[in-house]
Amino acid sequence: MTTLIKSATIIDASSSHNLKKKDILIVNGKIAQIANSIKQESNYKVVQLENLHVSSGWFDTSVCFGEPGYEERETITNGLKVAAKSGFTAVAVNPNTHPIVDTKSDVEFLINKANNSATKLFPIGALTQGSNGIELAEMFDMQQSGAIAFGDYNKSVVNDNLLKVALLYAQNFNGLVLSFPKNKAIAGEGVANEGVNSTRLGLKGIPALAEEIQVARDLFLLEYTGGKLHIPTISTAKSVQLIKDAKKKGLQVTCSVSAHHLSLTDDELEGFDSNSKVTPPLRTKKDTKALIKGLKDGVIDIITSDHNPIDIENKKVEFSIAEDGTIGLESLFGAVNAHLDIETTVKALTVNPRTIFGLDNYSIAKDQEANLTLFDPTTEYTFTKEDILSFSKNSAFTGKQLKGKVYGVYSNKKLVLQ
């Protein structure tokens, strides 16, 4: 199929066409021509959309699909369709399935299940067997089968020595270790950010300290062991500062932030909507400002949806017993685009995550493979249930005003549009 993308503003710092409006001709999955105007032929599939912008394909480094074990929440097939229509040409899938992804055969199952989709799936293997925090999983075997990183999704490594050994062992094969920032003893039975809102509403609080003390511990261990550490979904101002200081020391530490932590606060607790019950909990306006500044300053490397489908039986219940998590693929761009300039957003969805997780980068240039996200950064709209493509509907953004709509992707020789 030959595809002609008309009048698209290119957002790609590595391209000589950056910030210019061009036509892009794609033949057999490769960019054949970029020009001010390309003549249409009868056999071309023409893409001409309002205020069309194009960047290299987005990569989400924290996505949950239910399969295997929780297919009622989301299947791999539908999840990848959702990802493509949300602008993602690649996703890293967390190991929190049933069974936990902690062996090479589990990794191979996920990869084989995702074959030939427009959006490529990259498994994250569990750091410990069964994600139980006791024994390390077979990280090297999983990497050989296609796992790109290792972490126990939303579970902290309680045993200090275990994380130390993991960081040392992973250096043998250049592995990336993920350590979720939560001190379980300090977090206790908390269900929301410890602060004015949790106190007023009678909810058990999780102090910012629970995250920050874990980040500090992990950074001390990294300084001792060397290696590569990624801290997913930080949520507090102090965490940003700790990681900034560690980077100045030259430590190989990176971090991500979710779209909901960038744009929502614990004011969402009003009304006890369990869709806003997430891990880490939504924090304060001071924290969101620090997270946004951290992205602009380059301290925070990656934006993620932290997409976590939860079935209605485990979400539409009393706030304190509801499972943590929100879906986020469909709403990510519209949520963050209102707070960041487009080039910062694109960098945190393309070059940074691909570099950190060891994937090849793409450039919008002649003779390069076409791996593209198509979007309009200006459209403002209210996010409703009709915008949700996932099986599960647990979105913290339902009813929120968003800015920016995704049209779809061109990837793996496939054009997928909304």
pLDDT score for 373: 98
Domain boundaries, the chain: 2-53+366-417, 57-356
Cis, peptide link before residue 68, omega less than 30° from 0? yes
263, 275 in Cβ contact below 8 A?
A: no
Residue positions annotated with a catalytic role:
306
Distance CA 18, CA 339 (A): 21
DSSP codes of every residue in 159-187? -HHHHHHHHHHHGGGTPEEE-----HHHH
Q: What is the pLDDT of residues 66-125, one digit of tens each?
A: 999 999 999 999 999 999 999 999 999 999 999 999 999 999 999 999 999 999 999 999
Q: Would the pTM count as exceeding 0.95? A: yes
pLDDT score for 42: 87
Token pair 């924090």 in the structure block, residue: 283
**Half-sphere exposure for 60 (CA within 13 Å, toward CB):** 34
Give the mean model confidence (pLDDT) for residues 298-325: 97
Q: How confident is the model at residue 63 (pLDDT cuts 50, 70, 90)?
A: very high
Average pLDDT, the chain: 97
Asked if the model's pLDDT at residue 278 lies above 90, the reply is yes
Give the mean model confidence (pLDDT) for residues 164-182: 98
253, 246 in Cβ contact below 8 A?
A: yes
Listed in sequence order, the residues at least 6 apart from 183 whose beta carbon sits closer than 8 Å to its beta carbon are 156, 209, 210, 211, 213, 214, 217
State the DSSP code for 72: T
pLDDT score for 276: 97
Asked if the model's pLDDT at residue 1 lies above 90, the reply is no
250, 294 in Cβ contact below 8 A?
A: no
pLDDT score for 82: 98
Give the mean model confidence (pLDDT) for residues 361-368: 97
86, 114 in Cβ contact below 8 A?
A: no
pLDDT score for 209: 98
CATH class of 2-53+366-417: mainly beta
Determine the CATH number of domain 57-356: 3.20.20.140
At residue 300, φ and ψ (nearest 5 deg) are -90, 130
